[in-house]
Amino acid sequence: MKIISMDVMSTGVIAYYVLIASREGLFTPIALNNAQEVTYADPVPQAVILTAIVIGFSIQALMLVGVMKLARDNPTLESNEIENSNTP
């Protein structure tokens, strides 16, 4: 449940950034043949959000592998018992 809640939280943050970054009248920054004054969308926030999506996916996969290893060693759903049995 903790992994799912972290995934939902990161998806919510990414959706919030997409919501506040969306604007009307912006064009993609592709070179046009005609030289007109147009407003272009900034590609840096888009790259940051794509990076956040990839990092979030990799962290989720790493946490799931850790849970799979813990589930193999401790066949219980109580996190307190798992923490007590794995403390040095």
The pLDDT tens digits for 20-48 are 877 666 667 676 666 667 777 777 888 88
DSSP state of 19: H
Distance from C-alpha of 74 to C-alpha of 67, rounded to nearest angstrom: 10
pTM, to two decimals: 0.66
| CA-to-CA separations, 72 to 6, 36, 42, in angstroms, rounded | 22, 63, 47
Q: State the Cα angle at 38 between 37 and 44, rounded to 5°.
A: 125
**Taking the domains of the chain in order of start, what are their residue ranges?**
2-86
Pick from 73, 55, 74: nearest CA to 63: 55
